Amino acid sequence: MPTNILMPALSPTMETGTVAKWYVKEGDEISPGEILADIETDKATMEFEAIESGRITKIYVPEGTENISVNSPIAEITLEDEDLSATKKPSEIDENNTNAQYANVSNNAPKFTFESSTSAESKNQTRIKISPLAKKIAANHNIDIKNITGTGPSGRIVKTDVLSLLDTQPNSNNTGQKNKIIEGSFNSQGKNLESILNIFSNRQYELIPTTNFRKIVATRLTEAKSSIPHFYLRRTIEIKKLIKLREELNEALSKNEMKISINDFIIKAAAKSLQDNPKCNVVWGEENIIQLKSSDISVAVAIDDGLITPIIFDAEKKGIQDISIEIKEKIKKARAKKLHPAEYTGGSFSISNLGMMGVENFDAVINPPQASILAVGSCVKKALVNDRNEIFVGETMSVTLSADHRVIDGAVGALFIDSIVDYLSNPLKLLV
């Protein structure tokens, strides 16, 4: 019996995808390992490989189609031992043909599921998608989220959905509570495109469509800032020794045409500091705090239309040279949109470095469910005072730790950033 290929969820944040390119057409015979299509997610473009022999009997989604919801049929395949005459449309699929797994055994390719429309609907009925802020508001007002119709992406319940339901309730207290919520919200959030454009009706402008990637970034950052109680710890580091050590190492590695960056040292310093301060090596798990054993460091990388955070796993066990090689490879893959989800999903701590762009200091937004992120500024020469009260010109670097106060207390965060400062001020400790 023909089987539907569904648009898979290739990352935790993916709600829609794009069939960037088909390598097959209807009627083509396929064999295991053959590339069927390129799937563009919110963060990468990934190859879709066949794992069984058969024939592509239907292609439901034309090449280049955007905003295809996860679990929507994109094509139909009839396996080698099946009756090709039994081809059916997605709505006519036999309920018994469900829950079969079309999984790629390659580490570089995604997993796709075969499922009937009936099965997909039943799954959607049992899972309610809701933003953290909307969930919190609903809980505060004892609202059953099953009674709320979501208007967000893929039926996700958002804040405005909950507030709309409050409007229909007779309790006068709800109105007052709603006003308080609105007062602290972004004023233009509820405005449609037409009303916003009216503001600029006498100005020239160009409309740039919002990509899936940008929408997801906007949603995640909004939820992070609205639901995570950030606090900030700032330190200035004297990095003369670090600069000198880096120069010496790069001179020694010049024969291999390799250069170690300041950021490579920062990754290693963060990894060792997380081991020294395990209370900061945590992620928020709602009912539980998840304390990780290894230091998995996410590094913010700028790509077209946003950021992605490839991860250096077990960074505390790796030398600075190994870290440098690995992060350069992952950055290259990220900018080519070839980074596999396993390479950017997870991580216990993030680093965002804008120093190379001349930014002296800034505050970074925590990447949930992580509990902290380090913002790194540029190297600046400043007048400093030594232990003998002598003034000298030093090479300094500003760092700011953003921490989630739900899981990291101020004193704990202070010890953590102090450890980072110590390693970067005395970089020989990073080579031990």
Of the two residues 145 and 179, the one the predictor is more confident about is 145
Q: What is the pTM of this model?
A: 0.64
Q: Which DSSP letter does residue 428 get?
A: G
Whether the Cβ atoms of residue 260 and residue 321 lie closer than 8 Å to each other:
yes
| Distance in angstroms between the alpha carbons of the first and the last residue of the chain | 61
Distance CA(348)–CA(333), nearest Å, equals 21
Per-residue confidence band for 401, with pLDDT thresholds at 50, 70 and 90 = very high
Q: Which DSSP letter does residue 370 get?
A: B
Q: pLDDT at residue 274 above 80? A: yes
Q: pLDDT at residue 1 above 70? A: no
pLDDT at residue 169, rounded to an integer:
61
CA-nearest of 114, 108, 156 to 132 is 156
Per-residue confidence band for 167, with pLDDT thresholds at 50, 70 and 90 = low
Is residue 340 part of the annotated active site? The answer reads no
Distance CA(300)–CA(331), nearest Å, equals 9
Q: Which helix (H) or strand (E) covers residue 234, if one does? A: strand 230-238
Q: In whole numbers, what is the pLDDT of the chain averaged over residues? A: 81
Q: Give mean pLDDT, residues 205-233.
A: 87
Q: In what order do the strands lie in the sheet with 391-404?
A: 230-238, 391-404, 372-385, 349-353, 297-299, 311-312
pLDDT at residue 127, rounded to an integer:
63
pLDDT at residue 426, rounded to an integer:
96
Q: pLDDT at residue 175 above 80? A: no
pLDDT tens-digit series, residues 66-75: 888 888 888 8
Of the two residues 169 and 392, the one the predictor is more confident about is 392
Whether the Cβ atoms of residue 110 and residue 342 lie closer than 8 Å to each other:
no
Distance CA(343)–CA(339), nearest Å, equals 6
Q: Which of 34-38, 177-181, 404-408 has the lowest mean pLDDT?
A: 177-181
Distances (CA, A) of 106 to 32, 49, 279, 291: 11, 8, 36, 30
pLDDT tens-digit series, residues 361-378: 999 999 999 999 999 999
Q: Give mean pLDDT, residues 385-404.
A: 93
pLDDT tens-digit series, residues 80-94: 655 444 444 444 444
Tokens 């809701």 appear where?
A: 130
pLDDT tens-digit series, residues 91-112: 444 433 333 333 333 334 444 4
Distance CA(307)–CA(432), nearest Å, equals 32
- Structural domains of the chain in order of their starting residue, each with its CATH number: 3-125 (2.40.50.100), 132-214 (4.10.320.10), 230-431 (3.30.559.10)
Taking each helix axis from N to C terminus, what angle separates 132-140 and 212-227, rounded to the nearest 10 degrees? 40
Name the most confidently modeled range: 30-39, 40-49, 219-228.
Answer: 219-228
Bridge partners (DSSP) listed for residue 394: 382
Per-residue confidence band for 45, with pLDDT thresholds at 50, 70 and 90 = confident
Distance CA(421)–CA(277), nearest Å, equals 13
Whether the Cβ atoms of residue 311 and residue 343 lie closer than 8 Å to each other:
yes
pLDDT tens-digit series, residues 116-146: 334 444 444 456 778 767 787 787 778 888 8
Q: Cβ-count burial of 66 within 10 angstroms (0-12 exposed, 13-18 middle, 19+ buried)?
A: middle
Q: Which of 171-175, 258-262, 420-424 has the lowest mean pLDDT?
A: 171-175
Distance CA(323)–CA(263), nearest Å, equals 10
- Cα atoms in the 13 Å half-sphere on the side-chain side of 186: 11
Name the pairing type of β-strands 349-353 and 297-299: parallel
pLDDT at residue 92, rounded to an integer:
43
CA-nearest of 4, 61, 71 to 38 is 61
pLDDT at residue 89, rounded to an integer:
45
Q: Alpha-carbon torsion 288, 293, 296, 297, what sign? A: positive
Distance CA(155)–CA(153), nearest Å, equals 5
Whether the Cβ atoms of residue 157 and residue 129 lie closer than 8 Å to each other:
yes
Whether the Cβ atoms of residue 218 and residue 225 lie closer than 8 Å to each other:
no
Q: For every residue of 126-145, which 3-state class applies, written as one string?
A: HCCCECHHHHHHHHHCCCCH
Distance CA(38)–CA(5), nearest Å, equals 14
Q: pLDDT at residue 430 above 50? A: yes
**Token pair for residue 142?**
């004892």
Of the two residues 351 and 102, the one the predictor is more confident about is 351
141, 230, 340, 405: the active-site residue: 405
